[in-house]
Structure 1
């Protein structure tokens, strides 16, 4: 029987925990906690892990470390510069991770009504508390419905032109690999949230997401499985990226809008 990430009442369960962090990643998580506190001091409200590390599925030397920092104020240039230095230092000091991503938001934004079904849901359901008081205590519980689908990934049509510009600016295999990883992840997650209300559950596993999507769109299943594979093992082939932008991406954007509508403008 599939475990669909929901509790007995049909609400999302928080998917990660510090108890799931594998031993290889314990030192980098401990260092992140300490360095975040030192770097931001009184500016910081709370810090969170998300992604494969708190889910316990990270691969040493292959996975990145993903962090969300909630500040008492809206992030400014100094805060972003601090995050860049922090991320670079963690990445350089720990071979277990391949890159560090840090999201910065003011706590008022994270708790705002506008972000209730996007950033608020993300924090409450996909982020694991690392430091400070948990903002999820001030957020509602969530179900896998069409409103959530719309507000999380209902902006693909607006994203695609930016992707085209990034692809046009790229020229090296390493740049293509980075874009492949990013585009592939986004497309698979969007494909999954397209069918999430019908499936009635949640998963962050990309391969599983692609398989679930394929049950509802068998004619696109092979493309989505290939995108899930590319997200884990990105290749420096621009032809793959052009196919995303010329075929799978536009089709997915149109289908998403037809089924769930367009994300509320930010």
Structure 2
């Protein structure tokens, strides 16, 4: 499957605060059943709050391409829940391209990673996540504006690239190898868009729009980012061949402060 131009940019209210582009009504069958299964399993094992972000709560999911990206406030049996969930989930919902469970603690909500000035997990919950169950702690978080606090991938992409060869070597099979390639390419495409935020004044995690923003501001590197976009969908290309692009994106992060 080739990359498709789908997606939207985050919008703001009259005060310039970002509005999350998610709604429970966007989750149609069979995605809703998969979401309900994971949510119930996490709650049963003590999760105190469960959220979902990504294409599914935005109504943009594609079978065989989209994954489920959960965030949850940990409970006493959270680690056991993850171990038990993955195998059963893959068998019951083969149309989902992976399950991501991001577990965070209450203390994590106040952790700041410079040069960001506000906590990273607060940003995820407030601007990108749909509350599903438990206590909606996002209600207690102050709103965000379009600034450096939205950016995250660009600060870690070079370190991840340095470890990538080891991660690829650890792949169990071809499917696992392609999944790792897709994961890194997605992060690279989004990192490329993040360095554009100060000049575009807009933000999205949607891959094609990320690529377009980058290619418009950095036309000489556009073909390389297009390869990354294609790799983010197919998982066929070798991300280790894109070291120059990674270095360029890393060097440009100075624009974010």
TM-score computed with the length of structure 2 as normaliser: 0.86
SS at match of 1:144: coil
After superposition, the C-alpha distances for 1:192-213 in whole angstroms (9 at most, x for unaligned) are: 1111122112212100111011
Partner of 1:242: 240
Partner of 2:248: 251
**Range moving further from structure 2, 182-191 or 163-172:** 163-172
Q: Is the 8 A contact 2:153 2:187 kept in 1?
A: no
Q: Does 1:37 align with 2:53?
A: no
Note closer, same or farther for the CA distance 1:156–1:95 as it changes in structure 2 (3 Å cut). closer
Partner of 1:8: 14
Note closer, same or farther for the CA distance 1:128–1:4 as it changes in structure 2 (3 Å cut). closer
Q: Is the 8 A contact 1:52 1:63 kept in 2?
A: yes
Partner of 1:106: 105
CA distance in structure 2 between the partners assigned to 1:62 and 1:105 by the alignment:
26
CA distance in structure 1 between the partners assigned to 2:239 and 2:229 by the alignment:
13
Q: Does 1:225 align with 2:226?
A: yes
Aligned length: 247
More helix by share: 1
Partner of 1:264: none
CA distance in structure 2 between the partners assigned to 1:61 and 1:169 by the alignment:
24
5+ residue gaps in structure 2?
1-7
Q: 5 Å matches for 1:73-92?
A: 79-92=78-91
Q: 5 Å matches for 1:60-209?
A: 60-71=63-74, 79-113=78-112, 116-149=118-151, 153-170=154-171, 172-209=173-210
After superposition, the C-alpha distances for 1:42-70 in whole angstroms (9 at most, x for unaligned) are: xx220011111111111123322111111
CA deviation after TM superposition for structure 1 residue 190, in Å? 0.6
Partner of 1:26: 32
Two-structure CA RMSD over aligned residues (Å): 2.3
CA distance in structure 2 between the partners assigned to 1:17 and 1:147 by the alignment:
23
TM-score computed with the length of structure 1 as normaliser: 0.83
CA distance in structure 1 between the partners assigned to 2:229 and 2:85 by the alignment:
29
CA deviation after TM superposition for structure 1 residue 8, in Å? 2.7
Q: Does 1:47 align with 2:50?
A: yes
CA deviation after TM superposition for structure 1 residue 109, in Å? 0.9
CA deviation after TM superposition for structure 1 residue 27, in Å? 1.3
Note closer, same or farther for the CA distance 1:169–1:29 as it changes in structure 2 (3 Å cut). closer
